[in-house]
Structure 1
């Protein structure tokens, strides 16, 4: 049965809410290095604090009953430490703006490649053209302002691209498997917390004990609760209601929104080239967003 117009509206609203959430996440992650926390600490906050909410909910709803063991393993791996540590490590080499550009900016193209390669999904010419325009605009935003000044930036960019591949798989599977909220919380937080936290506590370097309280609380609240709980659930809802192609394309607005918030919050200047690139990116979004088509079973 096709989704009603109201459900599609909630899907688009959820996707655009995540644009703002992730754009703020770029700002928060940009200042994380000043908190004294390691990337392993950030991952521990992400899984550990979210699990405080996820464990009692999972014990009550028992979401594993609706999943095969293979689905639990795949989803937990996709949302697991390899994905998030690649993302956090990327900020050690490349400017924070590259995170939005090389993760969210390439999501439409990555989703197209995965869809064609694994699921025989045929993208429309509009979808391809809009996605290419988004990617070109994102690259212009990256180059503008000499953001490629670091010789090691390409390492961070590759790590961000790895993160984009992981997340594209998550978006696609959220739609194809029609994942529920509790299934996502269980696999994305509870399972990964159980696997990662003992390893972090016993063997990984940590600056948690020496971190100033203010920056620690900011990172704890935002890394631990906002993207991992609210973000995953909203994206899953958007993928179910408007499809993974529309969701991926809307999330590609994060680089532009991150640039705007950077200018408003951090005082970073937006040049004329950046403004034109943001306009082109928005046009690409309008071109690429399409009505959802029913996927084959």
Structure 2
């Protein structure tokens, strides 16, 4: 049985908050990209506002980072910054918000476990293997139920979402060994992503802000720029720090369930009975895959003659 220490409970609470924010992200993003704002606008709001909010973490008085941290942050931004957002957005465009919420967060813990095993010799326990199998089976079920678009279009969307999931998994493993604090990683991701995106965005004419209402821009600025860029990155990193990369990644697989629940009142999308059953299977896999790895028992001290009986 897992030990629910204060440290682990705090990690579970951070993970739960992250799941709530991530679940809403798919719904909120879908809300705008099917109306006036484009995905480039969403990315600009996410990383531009995030960089403004978090820049004091890096450039504040008395705060300096070693040169190696900037290179590390650049890698973080490539894995969980602008390229990740663009791949997920492509997946949403080629499939749907529901498919995207089902694929990327669900595959991520599976990739994290397998990559950790291959690169760091962290062999998953039998319960985690079972959890990964249940997650994969639930994912296959969700993809088989009412798939959107033609075959080639759906496969391209699935490939983009799978690539995003693999990048996210690698990020969790690298961050857990980096020595960076959660808020430092969040700031570096936003700063580097802004540096990569804004010159292209501002000089290309991609902006659609003039077509959107002030309320829609405010909604996306708050959700993308504050909740996703600043709050969610910090909460997820704190969950990784307390639960470990594999367990935190598995808990994020609850995002499809959260997104499905939010889509009912916000988008009017009611999951079918089969969809609910596959989501339940994913949750069962999450429960198994998020169990902490048991520590090996301490070696017994051999008795010698003359020791106390």
| TM surpasses 0.5 | yes
- Cα drift, residue 86 of structure 1: 1.2
Q: Determine the C-alpha separation between the residues in 2 that align with 1:40 and 1:174.
A: 27
- What residue number does 2:72 align with? 71
- Cα drift, residue 293 of structure 1: 6.4
- What residue number does 2:181 align with? 180
- What residue number does 1:22 align with? 22
Task: Indicate if the aligned counterparts of 1:40 and 1:204 stay in contact, CA closer than 8 A.
Answer: no
* TM-align CA RMSD: 2.1
CA deviations on 1:22-44 (whole Å, 9 max, x unpaired) are 11111111112234222222111
- What residue number does 1:91 align with? 92
How does 1:175-254 map onto structure 2 within 5 Å?
175-203=176-204, 205-254=206-255
Q: Determine the C-alpha separation between the residues in 2 that align with 1:68 and 1:206.
A: 32
Task: Give the number of aligned pairs.
Answer: 291
Structure 1 unaligned residues grouped into runs of 5+: none
- What residue number does 1:38 align with? 38
- Cα drift, residue 149 of structure 1: 4.1
- Cα drift, residue 292 of structure 1: 4.7
Q: Determine the C-alpha separation between the residues in 2 that align with 1:17 and 1:238.
A: 10
Q: Determine the C-alpha separation between the residues in 1 that align with 2:276 and 2:282.
A: 10
Note closer, same or farther for the CA distance 1:210–1:140 as it changes in structure 2 (3 Å cut).
Answer: same
How does 1:113-128 map onto structure 2 within 5 Å?
113-128=114-129
Note closer, same or farther for the CA distance 1:125–1:192 as it changes in structure 2 (3 Å cut).
Answer: same
Note closer, same or farther for the CA distance 1:24–1:182 as it changes in structure 2 (3 Å cut).
Answer: closer
Task: Indicate if the aligned counterparts of 1:140 and 1:277 stay in contact, CA closer than 8 A.
Answer: yes
- What residue number does 2:286 align with? 285
* Equivalent position SS for 1:106: helix
- What residue number does 1:58 align with? 58
- TM-score, scaled relative to structure 1: 0.90
Q: Determine the C-alpha separation between the residues in 1 that align with 2:91 and 2:191.
A: 25
- Cα drift, residue 238 of structure 1: 0.7
> Which runs of 4 or more aligned residues in structure 1 lie more than 6 Å from their structure 2 counterparts after TM superposition?
none
* Equivalent position SS for 1:122: coil
Note closer, same or farther for the CA distance 1:248–1:69 as it changes in structure 2 (3 Å cut).
Answer: same
